[in-house]
């Protein structure tokens, strides 16, 4: 469904002029209408900044033809519920779109996905888009020493996902066809048709509207050291000489990080001298209300629990344990209206290993709130 922000306010002022003279009858002048003042619409936040929609980017007939199975708009992989909606919210708060259609494949057996909630027979078509993303793409590529995507919609497949990532004009976009089937086959003709259509629609978009970021974005720290100091990282995580490093992926798409930047947030990677030690902090200013919705869904998973931190109201913090990776955890919190996500791995390699990754994350979040 198309969601475009902005509201225009107009007003009209009518002046009634009367002319009076001594000894003469009072005459009322004809009302003179003053033209209504005009003003440019002020975008609300969050709101889509480009003139397109999920239905335009991938029409339902192309969605259903991708796997020959009708897919439902807005349906998401059950396995992702425990991981929340931080990244999906980032697209919306950046003025972009995150669209998905999904369904269970009726012809495939239902199996547990290696101990993670959700079936292996999930089918999905998705597209993520952010306006004003070309410059952000170049920034991330520069920090990683890589290259930016081009406008070519040719897709590729890896680990059950076929995708095409493109920068077209000012827009950064990725389209996906997910089947958890054979991993390294080239895209089918119907999958490539989806990618081609997305490229065609995005190529026809005009300049996006300017974003209207919330007050929380301007009051939030502008750099990673302002979010949490390296001294605090060292003290709470027992990291030796921690440094800020690029927190982006070296392998998969970095479009989600572009959405965080577009929304006025941050993506801060950190690492110490300990071998294999790394973590990250992502922020989404003004998205505290979205955190509450995401946390309620995530808490339905046995791997997610609520945590109390002094200075924050009940229900403001959750911790997620990854059952597939030893000593890895994620903490999410609503901190003064900003949605903060902190990830940490390899806690047993720190100190004497007496504290888990979740306990160290809680100590770090507690120190952030106290400061």
Query: What confidence tens digit (pLDDT) does each residue in 159-205 have?
Result: 789 999 999 999 999 999 998 766 668 899 999 999 999 999 999 99
Q: pLDDT > 70: what percent of the chain? A: 80
Q: What is the pLDDT of residue 137?
A: 95
Whether residue 22 is predicted with pLDDT greater than 70 in this model: the reply is: no
* Angle between helices 86-93 and 288-298 in degrees, nearest 10: 150
Whether residue 38 is predicted with pLDDT greater than 70 in this model: the reply is: no
**What token pair was written down for 78?**
């059950």
Average pLDDT over residues 132-146: 92
Residue 306 bridge partners (DSSP): 318
Distance CA 362, CA 349 (A): 17
Q: What is the pLDDT of residue 81?
A: 78
For the entire predicted model, the pTM comes to 0.83
pLDDT-based confidence at 82, cuts 50/70/90?
confident
Q: What is the pLDDT of residue 28?
A: 36
Q: What is the pLDDT of residue 350?
A: 53
Average pLDDT over residues 343-352: 68
Q: What is the pLDDT of residue 312?
A: 96
Least confident of 170-179, 221-230, 255-264, 267-276: 267-276
Whether residue 36 is predicted with pLDDT greater than 50 in this model: the reply is: no
Whether residue 112 is predicted with pLDDT greater than 80 in this model: the reply is: no
Whether residue 353 is predicted with pLDDT greater than 80 in this model: the reply is: no
Whether residue 134 is predicted with pLDDT greater than 80 in this model: the reply is: yes
Whether residue 138 is predicted with pLDDT greater than 90 in this model: the reply is: yes
Whether residue 349 is predicted with pLDDT greater than 70 in this model: the reply is: no
Q: Is 258 left (phi over 0), alpha (psi -120 to 50) or beta?
A: alpha
Average pLDDT over residues 225-242: 92
pLDDT-based confidence at 273, cuts 50/70/90?
confident
Q: What is the pLDDT of residue 111?
A: 57
């Amino acid at each position: 469904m198309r969601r475009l922000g902005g509201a225009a306010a107009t007003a009209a002022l009518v002046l009634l002029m009367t002319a009076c003279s001594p000894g003469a009858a009072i005459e009322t002048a004809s009302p003179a209408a003053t033209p209504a003042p005009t003003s440019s619409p002020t975008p609300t936040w969050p709101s889509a900044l480009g003139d397109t929609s999920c239905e335009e980017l991938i029409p339902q007939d192309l969605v259903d033809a991708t796997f020959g199975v009708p897919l439902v708009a807005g349906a998401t992989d059950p396995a992702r519920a425990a991981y929340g909606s931080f990244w999906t919210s980032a697209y919306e708060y950046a003025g972009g779109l995150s669209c998905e259609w999904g369904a269970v494949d009726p012809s495939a057996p239902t199996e547990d996905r290696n101990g993670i909630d959700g079936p292996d027979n999930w089918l999905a078509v998705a597209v993520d888009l952010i306006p004003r993303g070309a410059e952000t793409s170049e920034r991330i590529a520069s920090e990683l020493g890589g290259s930016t995507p081009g406008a070519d919609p040719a897709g590729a497949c890896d680990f059950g996902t076929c995708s095409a990532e493109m920068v077209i004009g000012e827009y950064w976009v990725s389209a996906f066809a997910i089947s958890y089937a054979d991993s390294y086959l080239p895209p089918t003709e119907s999958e490539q048709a989806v990618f081609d259509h997305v490229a065609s629609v995005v190529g026809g978009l005009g300049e996006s509207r300017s974003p209207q970021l919330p007050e929380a974005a301007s009051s939030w720290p502008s750099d990673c050291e302002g979010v949490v100091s390296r001294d605090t990282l060292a003290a709470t995580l027992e990291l030796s000489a921690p440094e800020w490093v690029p927190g982006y992926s070296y392998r998969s798409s970095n479009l989600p990080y572009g959405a965080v930047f577009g929304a006025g947030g941050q993506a801060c990677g950190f690492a110490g001298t300990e071998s294999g030690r790394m973590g990250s902090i992502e922020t989404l200013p003004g998205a505290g209300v979205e955190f509450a919705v995401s946390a309620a869904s995530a808490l339905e998973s046995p791997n997610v629990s609520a945590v109390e931190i002094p200075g924050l109201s009940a229900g403001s913090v959750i911790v997620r344990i990854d059952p597939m990776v030893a000593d890895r955890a994620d903490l999410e919190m609503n901190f003064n209206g900003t949605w903060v996500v902190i990830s940490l791995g390899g806690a047993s390699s720190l100190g004497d290993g007496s504290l888990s990754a979740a306990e160290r994350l809680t100590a770090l979040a507690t120190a952030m709130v106290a400061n």
